[in-house]
Structures are given as C-alpha cells and as structure tokens.
C-alpha cells in the first residue's frame, strides 16, 4: 500500500463524486509532467488524500490500475485548451471524513515529514500546484491521525481491495469498453468509409479480419511463450485500437500475435518491450501472477528483433500504455 496526495481544486467535485482521478498525459508544450506520470504508479488498495481549497475533506481508495481514458465530458470547459482529449484515468472511491482539516494548520507537525522532492506542500503549509504526488509513510501516518479513528477502517478496506482481483478487473475494463463502443458507433457512421472498410476497422478491435492477416505476415508465434498454433493466438495492437487512426488499426506492424494471458498483460501495460527485444515488466504488476502466466520475472528475457515500424509503435506503447514508475523516467522528465 502506498499513499498519495491529489490536488483537485478545479476537478474536486467531478472526481470525488464520479469516483475517479483523471489527468492529461503531458504538459501543454508536450513535455512530461511528473505529477501526471505518477498516475501510472497507482495500484489497487492505495490511499489518496484529496486536497482542495486548502482542505482535506475526503480520502480515497484506489480501485484499479491506471489506463488510457478520454477527458471526462463533465469537465466542460475546464482545461479545454491545456489538456489533451486522451489522458490517464484511475478508478478511486472517495469517502468524506467526519472532521475535515487544513494541513496548513498542522504544518509544524507535518513539516519535518515533507519529501525533499515533489512535496505536496510548501514549508509554509500552502499547497503546491501539483496534481498527484507520493506521500511518505511518516507523513501519511500524521495525516491519518488528523483524519481520526476512521482512517484505520479506510486502511483495512484498502487492504481488502488490494487482493480483490475480480472486482478490480471489472472496474478496469468497463470504462475502456464503453469508450471503444462509442468509437465503433463513430466508425459505423463515418460517411467516408465504405462498408467493407468499416467492417475491417471494427473487426480489428478484437484482433480479427484484415488486421490479423497483416500481423500474421510478420509474426508467426507469441514472442513470450513461443506458442505457434494460430488457434491459441490473438492479434494484439501495440498502439491501442481506441487511439489509433483507421490506417494504424489495420497496420500489421502495429501488433503482435500473443497468447491470451500475454495479450492481457501487454494491452493493460503490465509488460512491454525495449527496441532491442528485452521484455519490460511493470513494477505495479503482481510478480506471482506473472509467473503463473508463464513469464520469468527473475531473469532477463529477450523476444527477438523488431522492424523499424514495430519499434515506432513500441515507443508509443512504452510512453502511453506501459505502467512504469517515475523513478525510471526521472532523467527523461528533467531533460524535457
């Protein structure tokens, strides 16, 4: 379990009542933002302190993992010019606390526990304009004591969420399914595409039809498990179908043939690949589950070479799907 601080001034009501956190992926200028990148580290059972208008009034429990998500329609004009249409979304259930408090009023107690990097609060007790940042355990302990005895119940509930695999799987999939269903409707109503083209694009969503044939021209087995029986392989998009152009949705270099479990891990960002073929494993992935799925987590795994086109799509996957930790990307962020 990890503890987080979300500064939600503009979006507080939408997010806490809608049970989610949402952020853009990048700054307006295209640069990486550590306080958006932290979204990719959230895991089921983590605790979020909700900070808005100088007060902490609610505490959230993370219900699932981070995933690509369209900008919430209820935001209206909020961030319309600064935020892209597709960002990071995480399901979080927020609970109002009995005795809201202002961290500023307790800064003497909190100040010694403030992190030296990415602190949510200034030395004065005023909040930084930082969307999401990690709270050290010592600071979380003090914040929990300020919340009161109900914090113990919240932590206990969070621990149950962390092991409730069925619940979080349903939570993670529902939003994406609804988003893609809406895109399918758009494809069906596109006046430019022919009926045949529409069918090909829609079939590509589930890895079938023309897309699968195009992938099979380049790939003949699962890169991770080495299974080569077509019946047991799925054509999986590298750049997700939902954010690809119609040409990219059918591009054979934008996909791999993977066994169902590996397809799931790749699609949800628990694994990815370096350009040199090395398998990447997300730090939020449950190692014991990956091992049962046939992935060796204690040795280096290389899955072979990629074409230049495949590398281009893999770059997108690592930057926009893979659930990496900010400590692994800090140098890139500082350079951008």
Could you tell me if 135 and 143 are in contact, meaning their C-beta atoms sit under 8 angstroms apart? yes
pLDDT on residue 336: 38
Chain segment 252-273, per-residue pLDDT in tens: 999 999 999 999 999 999 999 9
DSSP of 41-101: G--TT-EEEEEETTEEEEEEEE-S--EEEEPPGGGTTTTTTTS-SEEEEEEEEEEEEEEEE
Average pLDDT over every residue of 198-211: 88
Which secondary-structure segment (H or E) carries 208? none
Other C-beta atoms within 10 Å of 296: how many? 12
Burial of 157 (0-12, 13-18, 19+ CB in 10 A): middle
Chain segment 14-53, per-residue pLDDT in tens: 999 999 999 998 888 778 889 999 999 999 999 999 999 9
Could you tell me if 256 and 236 are in contact, meaning their C-beta atoms sit under 8 angstroms apart? yes
Domains of the chain: which residue ranges? 3-167, 194-335
Could you tell me if 136 and 113 are in contact, meaning their C-beta atoms sit under 8 angstroms apart? yes
Chain segment 206-253, per-residue pLDDT in tens: 888 999 999 999 999 999 999 999 999 999 999 999 999 999 999 999
pLDDT on residue 136: 95
Could you tell me if 159 and 172 are in contact, meaning their C-beta atoms sit under 8 angstroms apart? no
- φ and ψ at 54, to 5 degrees? 75, 0
SS3 276: coil
DSSP of 125-183: SPBPS-SEEEE-HHHHHHHHHHH-THHHHHHHHHHHHHH-HHHHHHHHHHHHHHHHHHH
**Res. 84: pLDDT tops 50:** yes
Average pLDDT over every residue of 179-197: 84
Q: What percent of the chain has pLDDT over 90?
A: 61
pLDDT on residue 298: 85
Average pLDDT over every residue of 105-128: 93
Average pLDDT over every residue of 62-81: 81
* 3-167, CATH topology level: ph1033 like fold (3.10.590)
pLDDT on residue 30: 79
**Packing angle, helices 165-188 and 195-204, rounded to 10:** 170
**Res. 65: pLDDT tops 80:** yes
Could you tell me if 295 and 266 are in contact, meaning their C-beta atoms sit under 8 angstroms apart? no
Q: What is the mean pLDDT of the chain?
A: 88
> Considering only 81-85, 176-180, 312-316, which range has the smallest mean pLDDT?
81-85
pLDDT on residue 335: 36
Other C-beta atoms within 10 Å of 104: how many? 15
Token code pair at residue 181? 């269903």
Question: Per the confidence metrics, is the pTM higher than 0.75?
Answer: yes
Place of tokens 């219900």: 63
**Res. 330: pLDDT tops 60:** no
Chain segment 313-327, per-residue pLDDT in tens: 999 999 999 998 775
pLDDT on residue 80: 60
- φ and ψ at 280, to 5 degrees? -105, 135
**Res. 73: pLDDT tops 70:** yes
183 band by pLDDT with thresholds 50, 70 and 90: confident
């Amino acid at each position: 379990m990890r503890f987080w601080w979300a500064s939600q001034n503009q979006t507080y009501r939408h997010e806490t009542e809608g049970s989610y956190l949402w952020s853009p992926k990048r700054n307006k200028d295209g640069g990486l933002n550590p306080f958006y990148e932290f979204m990719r580290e959230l895991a089921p059972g983590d605790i979020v302190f909700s900070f808005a208008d100088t007060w902490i009034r609610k505490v959230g429990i993370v219900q699932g993992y981070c995933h690509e998500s369209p900008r919430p329609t209820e935001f209206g004009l909020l961030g319309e010019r600064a935020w892209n249409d597709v960002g990071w979304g995480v399901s979080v259930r927020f609970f109002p606390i009995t005795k809201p408090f202002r961290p500023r009023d307790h800064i003497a107690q909190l100040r010694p526990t403030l992190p030296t990097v990415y602190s949510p609060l200034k030395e004065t007790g005023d909040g930084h304009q930082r969307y999401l940042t990690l709270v050290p355990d010592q600071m979380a302990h003090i914040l929990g004591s300020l919340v009161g005895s109900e914090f113990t119940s919240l932590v206990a509930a969070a621990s149950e969420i962390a092991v409730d695999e069925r619940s979080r799987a349903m939570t993670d999939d529902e939003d994406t399914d609804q988003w893609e269903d809406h895109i399918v409707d758009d494809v069906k109503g596109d006046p430019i595409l022919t009926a045949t083209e529409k069918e090909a694009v829609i079939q590509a969503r589930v890895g079938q039809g023309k897309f699968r044939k195009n992938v099979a021209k380049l790939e003949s087995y699962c890169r991770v498990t080495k299974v080569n029986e077509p019946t047991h392989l799925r054509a999986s998009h590298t750049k997700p179908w939902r954010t690809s152009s119609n040409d990219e949705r059918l591009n054979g270099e934008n996909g791999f043939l993977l066994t169902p479990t590996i397809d799931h891990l790749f699609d949800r960002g628990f694994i990815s690949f370096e350009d040199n073929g090395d398998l990447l494993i997300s730090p939020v992935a449950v190692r014991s589950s990956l091992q049962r799925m046939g992935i060796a987590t204690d040795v280096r795994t290389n899955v072979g070479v990629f074409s230049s086109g495949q590398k281009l799509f893999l770059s997108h996957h690592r930057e926009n799907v893979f659930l990496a930790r900010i400590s692994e990307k800090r140098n890139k962020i500082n350079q951008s």
